[in-house]
Chain A
Amino acid sequence: MKAQIAIWAGKTAGTLSKVMGNSGSTIPGVVARKVDGSFLHHLRKHTNTVVYITGTNGKTTTTNLIAHLLECSGKRIITNREGANMVTGIAAAMVHNAPLLGWAKNDVAVMEVDEASLPKAVSDCPPDYLVVMNFFRDQLDRYGEVDLLIEKMKDSLKTIDVKLILNADDPFVHRFSDLNKENVYVGLASNACQFPNYSVSESKYCPHCQSELTYSNIHFAQLGHYQCTCGFGRPRTDVSAEKVIQSPNGIRLVVDGEEYVTPLKGMYNAYNVLFAISLCKELEMTSSEIRKCLVKSQRADGRMQEFMINGEMWRLNLVKNPAGANVTLSEFFQSKQKKQLIFCLNDNLADGEDISWIWDIDLEMANRLEVESFIASGKRAHDVALRMKYAGIPEEKINIIPSLKQAVTHAKGKNTPAYIMATYTCLAPLVGILSEEQNLREEETFGADPVPLLSRYIKPIWGQRKYHLLNETVRMAWNQRSGRRNQEP
């Protein structure tokens, strides 16, 4: 009964919050857990299999992929798709999923779980599978908190029966091995792919004896084939990607001799896809089912998302830490096309208040001729600009425009596509702004709109046909006057 009231309260709170104009993705969860402290227990009761996905980078994409694949194979799933990955986010997903009365019965719960929230999530609702993707250096790591974090995560797993899907290539993740659970090791074979190089010092030290690890093959950051003199080394993999091939339409993977085609772009998605394949195989999806469903998968918002603006393909990618930012830059510079680079940095709680990590990004690599202009944006635009300056980028190429909207407008004025890196709280507003720009353009396929406001305000009232007549008339008059007729396409 308590749970039922919690669901109703959560649903009401969610609706109210939406009415008041908040996106409120976790509010229903916050409220539900206030009413019923053990709300997450019910997820365990009403779901056959519970899967958690955790790690620094790639959680959201992998969670979405797994959810998509399972759904495509006919499973009933519950998931926190929006990247709301704290305990409240999971609770919110449960509120959304529940019908007005009682609970929906699900085959699989696919939940992205923030590293710090994992112990709580595990104690409230122990998972059957845990995917541990990677641990990258970020501001926490500077203070040794990652050591602590990993130990806490491991402690929470000690007493439960769980199967671990572990990244064999990450020495930090390998530390989960001594829990003596059933482990599935997943990794990229040596020379499976060529990740673009960037120079940044990652801490590559053995977690046991603190000696420097030696690598026979580095994929990127601390991921690769490592070995320590003390005997600690990369475990033998159970699932291995022998080859990752990049093509304009997405990446292709050869996993244990079988080829998988994905529409996901960017080498760094190799791990995400590999984890998704491994987990789905655990849940007894066949290779051919996975292959069939993988083709139809879509990327999440703001993950190498493309926008067609002014006839140019713009790109937007989320960045949270130096490792992710470096990979993003490498992806951006795969093409030698002329471009602009926008870096939007906020310092809200969800972004991390400490923004010093931007100094560990190899922005020096962005200092190249093909990048014609740089825009520093967001609440910490000035910090971004300084970082760019100290990367050797000429000051006259750096524009400081804190407003995201104005940054996009400024970039639109140039005839080159903008490639945008954005921190978490910049992402949603940017997706909004860019989608709007993209739609605006679609409405104006008849040519440059002389009075852009018309399309926004008159069209909805008059309808498409009448609007075009008006638009055409205005445009002809305009062209006559300014004598630009010949320049129109």
Chain B
Amino acid sequence: MKRCEWRGINVRVVEIKNPDDAKNSGCDIFMIGGGSDREQAIATKRLAPLVKEIKAWVEDGVSGLTICGGYQFLGDYYETKTGEKLTGMGILPFYTKAEDSRLMTNILVESQTFGRIVGFENHGGRTYHHFPTLGKVVNGFGNNGESGEEGLHYHNLIGTYLHGPILPKNSQIADYLIGQAYERKTGRKLEPLPDEMEKIANQTVWERFLNTKPTKYANER
């Protein structure tokens, strides 16, 4: 939002508390965050009437950012540690399975589209899908700690485990989401911003965690 403001683009933020909010929003960019398993299940239930709408947004090229729980619940289901399958929104066909250890560390991702991405991941769920990803994990765990890939990138929808939060230190992603939406709406290209501070912050984290060893945390303390 700040990056739009700095460019003189007016933004209206609508918090979706019930399905009608979203139907009337006519949004250009949408964002779904995360929560605990319990909260996530509640949110998904409330979002159920909107699934068709969101699917249409995605196919239509609306910019979307979904993080952690928001990313997991784009899929068909989320299998908890007890084997219970929580229904996802089913926007895209994939699934997530929770395991005992928590993947919690600073993460570095090398992306063909976005270059170096830095952030922090903290998730018990392992996500498996066949869609294009954000990029290759250089340090950290990523989607499931096995594939060496992180995130999902489908049309203009991004799903990722990175927070930190993801956008300020990876302003290229913020500008991608804004840029796609801006072009879709106005047909014009987005003007770049001076990003010295963002780039240095990204680089500092990259260099610091390039050679650290990420450890898996036991879920129980």
Contact = CB atoms under 8 A, between A and B. Distances in A.
Contacts of B37: 144
B168 A386 contact: yes
Contacts of B2: 390, 392
A145 B36 CA distance: 7
Contacts of A382: 197, 200-201, 204-205
A370 B197 CA distance: 24
A400 B203 CA distance: 14
A353 B209 CA distance: 12
Contacts, number: 58
A356 to B, nearest CB: 5
B221 interface: yes
A373 to B, nearest CB: 16
B38 interface: yes
B36 A354 contact: no
Interface string B104-141: 11100000000000001011000000000000000000
A389 interface: yes
B197 A147 contact: no
Contacts of B200: 382, 400
Interface residues of B, number: 26
Contacts of B145: none
Contact of B120 (A116, A145, A356, A392): A356
B105 to A, nearest CB: 7
Nearest to A383: B201
Contacts of A142: 34-35, 122
Contacts of B39: 144
Contact of A386 (B35, B123, B197): B197
Interface residues of A, number: 24
A386 to B, nearest CB: 5
A354 B197 contact: no
Contacts of A293: none
Given A145-B36, A382-B201, A395-B197, A355 B120 contact: yes
A143 interface: yes
B42 A210 contact: yes
B19 interface: no
A385 B197 contact: yes
A145 B39 CA distance: 11
B221 A389 contact: no
Interface of A: 116, 139, 142-145, 147, 210, 353-356, 359, 382-383, 385-387, 389-390, 392, 395, 398, 400
Closest 4 CB pairs of A and B: A144-B36, A382-B201, A382-B204, A386-B168
Given A390-B168, A400-B200, 20 more contacts: A116-B221, A143-B34, A143-B35, A143-B123, A144-B35, A144-B37, A147-B38, A210-B42, A353-B106, A353-B120, A354-B104, A354-B122, A354-B164, A359-B165, A382-B200, A382-B201, A385-B201, A392-B2, A395-B197, A398-B197
